[in-house]
C-alpha cells in the first residue's frame, strides 16, 4: 500500500538527512492516502512549517508514476528545483516531473504555475488529474492574478483595427471614459473604479461586432457583479490601464474543483476564510485534518507598548518617526519597516534617511548589513528570499487592506450585500494570512518584532493578531544590547 511504502521510504531518508519538523511521516501517509483514494483533502499544517513539508509531500509523489498536477508559485518552484531536490539527491531520492503547457504523455507528475493551470483547464488538458495546492491559504489571491485581465491603449487600437466599421463609436466611447475617469481622480496615479453602465455599453457594442481579438473576447465573459473593474491613471500621458479581476476566483472555477480530486496544504489553523472559499467552489472535502502539536518554533521578542496612538490621529506620523528612530538606533543587523500607506511610507523613509543617511533605503534588495529597508508588505513577502534574515521587523501599520483599493472595496461591497461581517470575515483573516510568513525570517535569527499600530492593543481583534504571532515573549522597554 502506498501509505506504508511512503512511511518506510521517508523513515529511511530521515535517517540520512536532518529535519527538525516532527510531522513529515504523518504528512506522507496523509498525502499517499489522498493520492491512492483520489479524494479531496485539506491538511492544516502548523505555523513555521513553510520550509519543512516538502519531504512529506514529495516522497509519495516520487514512489510511483502519479497522474497528479502540482501547482506552485514561482517562489515555490525555485525553492523546489534549486534547494529541495539538490539536497535530497545525495540521499538517493529522485523525482521525475514534467514541465510545459501540454500534459505529459505518460502518468507523470505535472509541474505548472497558476496561469498554466487556468490554460490547461480551458484547453481540456487536465482530464481527471488530481490537483495539489501547497500554501492553499494564498490560492485565491494567486488564481485571481492568473485570471486577471489588463487592457492597454494598444488593445483599444487593436479592437479598432479589427472592426473599422465601429472605429468612431469606439473612439468616442474611449474618450468619454477617459474624461470621466480623470475627472474622478483625487491624485496623480489614482486608481478609479469603473462605472458598470459604461462597461455594459462597451460589452453590448463588442457583442454585436462579432469575434474580437484578445483580451476583448475574455471581457465579454466577465460579470459586473462578480468582477472588480478599475482604471490605473497615468497623468503624464493621460492614458490609463484597465484592470479586471474576479472577486471570488474559486467560484469562477467551480467546474474545475467539482470534477477533480484536490489536495490542499495550508498553514492557517485559526482562519476560516479558506474553508468558506473552498465551499464556494463547490468542492466537497472528504478529509479535513490538522497536524497539531506543541509549537516548536523559537519565540520572538515582541515590542508592542500599550497606549500607542491610532493611525488616524494627527500625531501618528511623528510618533512613527520617533519610535522608529529609537528602534533602529544602535542596531547592527538589517531592519525591515513595513507600511502600505504610500504617502506615510515615503514621509517616514525621508525622515529616517535624514537621521541615518544611506543606511535607509526604499524597496531595495541590496541594503547595507545594518541597513533599514522601508517597504510594502507585498514587496517584503515577494523578496524575502533575496535578503538576509532581518534582525528586526518594524510593523508601522498592520496589514489590513485599505478600502481605497478598488479590488478590496468591491469585495467588501459584495460581503455587505450578502449580509456578512466584512471586517471579521474578510479584512482580518486576510491580515492573519500574511503575518506568519512575514515574521518567519525574523524568527529564524531570534530577532525582534515591533508593532507600532495602536489598534493592536485598543481593539478586541488585536488578540487574534497576538495569537497568530505566537510564540513570543514581551519586550516591555527598549534597552541597549
Cell of 27: 504528512
- Give me the pLDDT at residue 360, please: 97
For Cα atoms 341, 342, 344, give the angle at the middle one, nearest 5 degrees. 70
Residues 129, 260: Cα–Cα separation, whole Å: 6
Angle CA 304–305–310, to nearest 5 = 90
CA triplet 73, 407, 194: central angle to 5 degrees?
A: 130
Joined grid coordinates for residue 169 = 463609436
Q: Which residues of 416-435 are buried (b: 16+ CB within 10 A; e: fewer)?
A: eeeeeebeeebbbbbbbbbb
- Sequence-distant (6+) residues with CB within 8 A of 178 are 238, 240
pLDDT tens track, the chain, 481 positions: 888 888 788 788 777 776 667 788 899 999 999 999 999 999 988 776 666 788 899 999 888 767 899 999 998 999 999 988 888 888 778 888 899 888 887 778 999 999 999 999 999 999 889 999 999 999 999 999 999 999 999 999 999 999 999 999 999 999 999 999 999 988 887 899 998 888 898 999 998 988 999 999 999 999 888 999 999 999 889 899 999 999 999 998 989 999 999 999 998 765 678 888 999 888 999 999 988 654 557 789 999 999 999 999 999 999 999 999 999 998 899 999 999 999 999 999 999 999 999 999 999 999 999 999 999 999 999 999 899 999 999 999 999 999 999 999 999 999 999 999 999 999 999 999 999 889 989 988 889 999 999 999 999 999 999 999 988 999 988 765 5
Q: Which of 296, 369, 378 is nearest to 345 (CA)?
A: 378
CA-wise closest residue to 267 among 44, 470, 72, 465 = 44
Instruction: Say whether 292 sits in a helix, a strand or coil.
Output: coil
Cell representation of residue 272: 476560516
Q: With b meaning 16 or more CB within 10 Å and e meaning fewer, what string describes 277-294?
A: bbeebebeeeeeeebeee
Q: Residue 8: which residues within 8 A CB-CB, separation 6 or more?
A: none
Distances from the Cα of 195 to the Cα of 32, 192, 200, 202, 353, angstroms: 49, 9, 9, 11, 42
- Virtual torsion, Cα 219, 223, 226, 228, nearest 10 deg: 50
Distance separating alpha carbons of residues 442 and 194, to the nearest angstrom: 41
Residues 6+ apart with CB under 8 A from 280: 248, 250, 251, 254
pLDDT, position 65: 65
Distance CA 304, CA 281 (A): 39
Q: How many CB atoms lie within 10 A of CB 187?
A: 9
Strands 239-246 and 227-234: antiparallel
Cα–Cα distances in angstroms (integers) from residue 95 to residues 4, 66, 85, 109, in the given order: 19, 11, 8, 9
Q: Where are the alpha helices (DSSP H) in 224-376?
A: 249-252, 254-259, 273-280, 316-328, 342-356
Bridge partners of 233, per DSSP, are 240
Q: Which residue, 249, 284, 281, is CA-closest to 40? A: 284
For residue 22 the three cell numbers come to: 516532527
C-alpha cell at position 38: 483520489
Q: How far is CA 250 from CA 277, 282, 344, 433, in A?
A: 7, 9, 35, 18
pTM score of the predicted model: 0.91
Q: Is 80 exposed, middle or buried (0-12, 13-18, 19+ CB in 10 A)?
A: buried
Amino acid at each position: 500500500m502506498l501509505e506504508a511504502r511512503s512511511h518506510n521510504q521517508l523513515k529511511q531518508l530521515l535517517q540520512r538527512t536532518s529535519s527538525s519538523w516532527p510531522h513529515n511521516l504523518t504528512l506522507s501517509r496523509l498525502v499517499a492516502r489522498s493520492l491512492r483514494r483520489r479524494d479531496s483533502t485539506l491538511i492544516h499544517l502548523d505555523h513555521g512549517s513553510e520550509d519543512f513539508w516538502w519531504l512529506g509531500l514529495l516522497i509519495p509523489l516520487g514512489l510511483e508514476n502519479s497522474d497528479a498536477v502540482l501547482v506552485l508559485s514561482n517562489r515555490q518552484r525555485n525553492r523546489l528545483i534549486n534547494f529541495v531536490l539538490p539536497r535530497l539527491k545525495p540521499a538517493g531520492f529522485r523525482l521525475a516531473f514534467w514541465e510545459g503547457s501540454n500534459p505529459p504523455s505518460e502518468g507523470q507528475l505535472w509541474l505548472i504555475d497558476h496561469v498554466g493551470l487556468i490554460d490547461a483547464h480551458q484547453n481540456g488538458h487536465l482530464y481527471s488529474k488530481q490537483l495539489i495546492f501547497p500554501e492553499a491559504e494564498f490560492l485565491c489571491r494567486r488564481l485571481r492574478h492568473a485570471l486577471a485581465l489588463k487592457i492597454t491603449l494598444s488593445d483599444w487600437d487593436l479592437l479598432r483595427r479589427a472592426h473599422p466599421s465601429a472605429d468612431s463609436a469606439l473612439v468616442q466611447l474611449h474618450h468619454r471614459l477617459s474624461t470621466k475617469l480623470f475627472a474622478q481622480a483625487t491624485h496623480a496615479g489614482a486608481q478609479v473604479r469603473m462605472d458598470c453602465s459604461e462597461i455594459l455599453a462597451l460589452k453590448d457594442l463588442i457583442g454585436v461586432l462579432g469575434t474580437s481579438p484578445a483580451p476583448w473576447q475574455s471581457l465579454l465573459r466577465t460579470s459586473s457583479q462578480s468582477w472588480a473593474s478599475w482604471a490605473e491613471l497615468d497623468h503624464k500621458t493621460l492614458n490609463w490601464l484597465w484592470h479586471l479581476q474576479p472577486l471570488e476566483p474559486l467560484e469562477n472555477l467551480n467546474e474545475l474543483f467539482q470534477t477533480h480530486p484536490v489536495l490542499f496544504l495550508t498553514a492557517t489553523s485559526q482562519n476560516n476564510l479558506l474553508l468558506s472559499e473552498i465551499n464556494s467552489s463547490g468542492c466537497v472535502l472528504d478529509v479535513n485534518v490538522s497536524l497539531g502539536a506543541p509549537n516548536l518554533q523559537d519565540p520572538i521578542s515582541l515590542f508592542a507598548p500599550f497606549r500607542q496612538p491610532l493611525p488616524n490621529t494627527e500625531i501618528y506620523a511623528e510618533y512613527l518617526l520617533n519610535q522608529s528612530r529609537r528602534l533602529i538606533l544602535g542596531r547592527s543587523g538589517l531592519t525591515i519597516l513595513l507600511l502600505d500607506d504610500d504617502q506615510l511610507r515615503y514621509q517616514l523613509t525621508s525622515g529616517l534617511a535624514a537621521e541615518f543617511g544611506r543606511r535607509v533605503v526604499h524597496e531595495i534588495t541590496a541594503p547595507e548589513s545594518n541597513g533599514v529597508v522601508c517597504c510594502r508588505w507585498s514587496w517584503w513577502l515577494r523578496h524575502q528570499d533575496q535578503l538576509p534574515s532581518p534582525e528586526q521587523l518594524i510593523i508601522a501599520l498592520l496589514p489590513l487592506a485599505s478600502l481605497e483599493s478598488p479590488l478590496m472595496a468591491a469585495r467588501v461591497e459584495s460581503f455587505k450585500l450578502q449580509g456578512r461581517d466584512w471586517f471579521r470575515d474578510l479584512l482580518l483573516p486576510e491580515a492573519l494570512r500574511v503575518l506568519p510568513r512575514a515574521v518567519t525570517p525574523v524568527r529564524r535569527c531570534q530577532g525582534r518584532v515591533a508593532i507600532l499600530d495602536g489598534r493592536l492593543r485598543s481593539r478586541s481583534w488585536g488578540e487574534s493578531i497576538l495569537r497568530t504571532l505566537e510564540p513570543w515573549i514581551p519586550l516591555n522597554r527598549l534597552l541597549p544590547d
